[in-house]
């Protein structure tokens, strides 16, 4: 692993990076780089670790020709162009649990500070004043906390708020009523949450759909004594609408840890309101959290480069070490079946149909589908891999469907049957595992277009279709021998006697054009294809 180079471009905990260094990776930490400086050096690295400062844009990734993984030491990935990374086959990882407790605690700190006007009272006393009557606060007990977003952080905030004897009403369209009952809170529409809340806190990712989720329309529904808290992402609360609501007295106060522009400009009017408490994006700023998210991302990136395990990935299905061990031989087989199929085709692919049987029928086989597509589309895109395989298929108008064959009588069925449809028809190739479980070299091709055959999908191969008449095998062997091509294995299959037969011939070296031309010129040969499945 000495050749794996990792760039850390933000201030990430040094001790948290130890898993990468212990794995033998070359880790270089260079913070404060300007965009042009970062684009200049990023081309030399396989991995990039960032927090929120570095903006990982499509232009940056265009320069990063070696980049295979981006690790976000934190939760939010809005500073990373995830679609651009996906299209380039770059995995994006985050640490979804690392900031949960510390951000929830900061939310509660601002909740209490808003209720009791702690920062304002502190500033007054620091200024030599004693203004007890001016800073009369409100109790949390009996008040209603509106929670927008019941992810990890939102759930912790709701749980802690109940400890203050607050009523909790929440909006999250992805949470089922029975889950809400388990959390001892009430689900409601966004409109109702805004109308009922005494305090409102936001805990959703920042997406095109959630940007401005608390805006002028929502403020118009709120009670005038409501107080707003945002420790999630700048942009979730429309700052202009919040300013107008504060100015008109429709909102009693706000506590903001995040802003639409960070750092906010000095003339941001929200900074001038005494009723607004601000902190400089401190939600994740505890020693424990900073070290925790760094360790998490470092371990995830280490495992990805060492074994291919995908944990914490935001643009590909998670695949842990145990699951990877079980699926690994199927992933190898599927990728090779895809490459094999691609080299048998002359026309553009329109549709891919994959059927899983045996133990795969009882697993989530999406990673295997991705591996097959990565092999099939390998020559269509220079950077196709399991991350972007579905995306590239979609871009090319290729429909992908999967099915599962379960039940008695299917134990002998091929584990994977792949059908590729082109304008000229359908081509099928099946494969299964033989030998010990977990052996990545145990995959075999078991059927090609209805011809039962057993061949190892590796190295150099020739696939021929011929008339089933005497002398063909000898003549093929003579042609290969005359051109200095040694046959390592010869697999033959046919549908019925005297019809057509198929041969998969494994050779020690690739066939040159002259050899292939002579095979195709033999009158009994219907077709001959050169296949290369080197690792």
- The residue whose two tokens read 């809005």 is 78
Q: Is 339 a catalytic residue?
A: no
DSSP for 106-136, please give it. HHHHHHHHHHHTHHHHHHHHHTT---TTTT-
Which of 106, 117, 233, 460 is flagged as catalytic? 233
The whole-angstrom separation of Cα 301 and Cα 311 is 9
Q: Is 141 a catalytic residue?
A: no
CB 410 within 8 A of CB 300: no
The whole-angstrom separation of Cα 250 and Cα 203 is 22
The whole-angstrom separation of Cα 269 and Cα 338 is 58
Q: Is 281 a catalytic residue?
A: yes
The whole-angstrom separation of Cα 257 and Cα 149 is 17
162 CB-near residues (< 8 Å, 6+ apart): 168, 184, 185
Which of 68, 227, 281, 370 is flagged as catalytic? 281
Which of 262, 288, 347, 426 is flagged as catalytic? 262
Number of Cα atoms under 13 Å in the Cβ half of residue 473: 13
Pairing of strands 443-448, 425-433: antiparallel
Query: Looking at the chain, how many residues does it have?
Result: 535
CA dihedral over 316, 320, 321, 323, signed as positive or negative: negative
- The residue whose two tokens read 């999406």 is 366
- Active-site annotation, residues: 233, 262, 281
């Amino acid at each position: 692993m000495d050749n794996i180079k990792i760039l850390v471009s933000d201030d990430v905990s040094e001790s948290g990076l130890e898993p990468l260094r212990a794995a033998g990776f070359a880790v270089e930490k260079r913070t404060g780089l300007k965009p042009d400086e970062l684009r200049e050096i990023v081309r030399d690295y396989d991995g990039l670790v960032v927090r929120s400062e570095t903006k990982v844009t499509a232009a940056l990734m265009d320069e990063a020709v070696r980049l295979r993984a981006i690790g976000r030491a934190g939760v939010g990935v809005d500073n990373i162009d995830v679609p651009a990374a996906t299209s380039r086959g770059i995995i994006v990882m985050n640490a979804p649990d690392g900031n949960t407790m510390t951000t929830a605690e900061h939310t509660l700190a601002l909740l209490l500070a808003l209720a009791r006007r702690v920062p304002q009272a502190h500033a007054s006393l620091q200024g030599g004043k004693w203004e007890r009557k001016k800073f009369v606060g409100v109790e949390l007990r009996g008040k209603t906390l509106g929670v927008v977003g019941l992810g990890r952080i939102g759930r912790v905030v709701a749980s802690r708020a109940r400890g203050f004897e607050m009523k909790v009403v929440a909006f999250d369209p992805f949470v089922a009523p029975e889950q809400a009952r388990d959390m001892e809170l009430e689900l409601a529409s966004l409109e109702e949450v805004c109308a009922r809340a005494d305090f409102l806190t936001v805990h959703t990712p920042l997406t095109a759909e959630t940007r401005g989720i608390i805006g002028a329309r929502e403020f118009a529904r709120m009670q005038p004594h409501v107080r707003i808290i945002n420790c999630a992402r700048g942009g979730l609360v429309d700052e202009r609408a919040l300013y107008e609501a504060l100015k008109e007295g429709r909102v009693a106060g706000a506590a903001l840890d995040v802003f639409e522009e960070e750092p906010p400009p000095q003339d941001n009017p929200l900074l001038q309101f005494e009723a607004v408490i601000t902190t400089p994006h401190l939600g994740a700023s505890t020693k424990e959290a900073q070290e925790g998210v760094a360790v998490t991302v470092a371990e995830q990136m280490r495992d990805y480069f060492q074994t291919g395990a995908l944990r914490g990935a935001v643009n590909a299905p998670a695949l842990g070490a145990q699951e990877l061990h079980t699926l690994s031989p199927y992933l190898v087989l599927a990728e090779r079946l895809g490459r094999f199929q691609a080299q048998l085709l002359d026309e553009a692919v329109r549709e891919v149909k994959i059927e899983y049987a045996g133990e795969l029928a009882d697993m989530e086989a999406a990673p295997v589908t991705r591996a097959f597509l990565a092999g099939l589309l390998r020559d269509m895109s220079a950077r196709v891999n399991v991350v972007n395989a579905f995306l590239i298929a979609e871009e090319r108008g290729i429909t992908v469907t999967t099915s599962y064959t379960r039940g008695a009588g299917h134990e002998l069925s091929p584990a994977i049957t792949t059908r590729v449809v082109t304008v000229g028809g359908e081509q099928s190739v099946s494969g299964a595992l033989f030998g010990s479980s977990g052996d990545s070299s145990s995959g075999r091709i078991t059927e090609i277009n209805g011809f039962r055959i057993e061949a190892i999908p590796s190295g150099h191969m020739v696939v021929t279709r011929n008339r089933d008449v005497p002398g063909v095998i000898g003549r093929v062997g003579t042609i290969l021998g005359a051109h200095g091509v040694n046959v390592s294995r010869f697999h033959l299959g046919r549908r019925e006697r005297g019809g057509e037969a198929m041969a998969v011939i494994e050779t020690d070296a690739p066939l040159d054009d002259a050899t292939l031309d002579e095979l195709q010129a033999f009158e009994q040969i219907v077709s001959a294809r050169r296949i290369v499945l080197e690792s």
